[in-house]
Structures are given as C-alpha cells and as structure tokens.
Amino acid sequence: MESISPKILVVDDDIAIANLISRFLKQKKYLIESANDGKTAREIFSHFRPDLVILDINLPDTLGYNLCAEMQNNNDVFILMLTSRTDVEDKKKGFLIGADDYLTKPFDLQELEFRVQAILRRRRLVKSQNFKMIELDDLFINPETREVKFKDEKIILTTLEFDLLYFLARNPNKVWRRDDLIANVWKNETVKDNRIVDIHIGQIRRKIQSDPNDTQYITTIRGVGYKFNC
C-alpha cells in the first residue's frame, strides 16, 4: 500500500522564502500549502489539517508565537519555527508555547529537510507504538487518543510535552539523561541544547501537578536528568 505523504503548511511573510521552501519540499514529495500572513494561515490550517507547520515568527498581522499557541491548542500538530533572531530567550519562548524545533535564517535547504524528517519521524514512531494506557494516582494517560487527565480534569499538552511525558511514564523508575531523552523523544540529532528538556519538564509539571515544585510524578536527578516515579 502506498503511504500518504505528510502535509506541511509553510507560513512566511517573505513570499520569495515561502515559495522557495514550498517548491523544495514539493520536490521531496510532501503535500504543501503556504500562507504569507496569520489570517490566511488560520484559514488554510482549519481545512488542510497539516502534520507540520513551518512558521515564521514575524508576520504582518500577528506574531508566530501567537499562531503557534493557537495551532497547538486546537490540533496535535508539529511546529518548526523560522527566525532571524539568535537570542536564547526568543527560542525559549517558542519552546514554552509548543514549538518542536527552531531554524535560524539564513538556513540551508538541506538542513531544513533534515529537521523536517526528524520531526515527522517522531509522528511515525508514536503511531506505531503499542498503545498502553497509564493510570497512576490522579494521573491518566491515553496514548491512542493522546488524552491526559489529572484529577479527572483534561490537561492540554503540546505534541512534545505529551511525547515526553508518555515516554517517561512508559519507562518508570529509570533515570534518563537529558541527551538520552532528546535521542528517544525528539529523535533529532540537530538539537544541541539539552536545556530544552528542562523547559518542557517544567511545563509538564505545571500542568499535571497541583504543586509544580512537587516531585510526585517526575523527579529531577541533580546533575543527571529525570525519572518518572511509579
């Protein structure tokens, strides 16, 4: 059976860059739609239902950060953000609202392809897993529906947050180094800064624990990494 090509939405206010990325990815057999502003991106997103959005931070009618948050709240979609900024705080902000990866302009198209492949590889791996629901005290995780509940309240997690939480929960009581988590969850050798793990762990804790400083579910092993308690 022929596999279905992943769908990618390219959003960049620079028409030349958007067209360049779109033509390149079409040659790689991806299904592509593009937009040059937030309003058009929202309209296309609602009916195209992409697997991945390549999203520029600076748009004429909104910030890419805002669009990223909206898309993550309404769909289990991957986000690769494009930026001309190199400030670590800017990247941290993007990861906090759900971005899966960052690429700084100017960039090589081959690197873009590698990052796209790495992100979409995670989608295939998640779908191929043997689904195993996890219930622990007040926490419920359903990998088939990608639903998380804490004290019977539905918790909204980004794609990466869910993948990271489920990976830890499926491998309880084992200490995982940050680099090992990147290798197993991000599946992306281009991620060089392992501090992004800390950012996502912090976000998960704030969402699934009454006290984000509590170590009921996820314990920090100082100088090493993290462990899920079971």
> How high is the pLDDT of residue 2?
45
Average pLDDT over residues 71-91: 78
Domain hosting 94: range is 7-127
| pLDDT tens column, 105-148 | 889 999 999 989 888 877 655 554 556 788 888 899 988 888 89
Say if residue 106 is preceded by a cis peptide, omega within 30 of 0. Answer: yes
Residue 46 C-alpha from the chain's centroid:
19
- Percent of the chain having pLDDT more than 70? 86
- Specify the CATH number for the domain of residue 57: 3.40.50.2300
Query: What are the beta bridge partners of residue 56?
Result: 82
Structure tokens at 175: 């200490």
2 belongs to a structural domain? no
In a domain, 190, yes or no: yes
Mean pLDDT of all residues in the chain?
85
Mean of pLDDT values over 86-110: 79
CA distance 18 to 46: 19
Question: Given this model, what pLDDT does residue 104 score?
Answer: 87
Whether residues 218 and 189 share a domain: the answer is yes
Tokens of 218: 């996820």
Residue 72, exposed/middle/buried by CB under 10 A (0-12, 13-18, 19+)? buried
**Does residue 93 lie within any of the structural domains?**
yes
| Mean pLDDT across 2-28 | 91
pTM > 0.75: no
Query: Does 99 or 113 have the greater pLDDT score?
Result: 113
Strands (E), the chain: 7-11, 31-35, 52-56, 78-83, 101-104, 134-136, 139-142, 147-150, 153-155, 176-177, 218-221, 225-228
Residue the block writes with tokens 């993550």:
72
Same domain, 47 and 118: yes
pLDDT at res. 212: 61
Among 64, 93, 127, the domain-final residue is 127
Is the pLDDT score of 213 beyond 80? no
Neighbour-count burial for 111-130, b at 16+ CB within 10 Å, e otherwise:
ebeebbebbbebbeebeeee
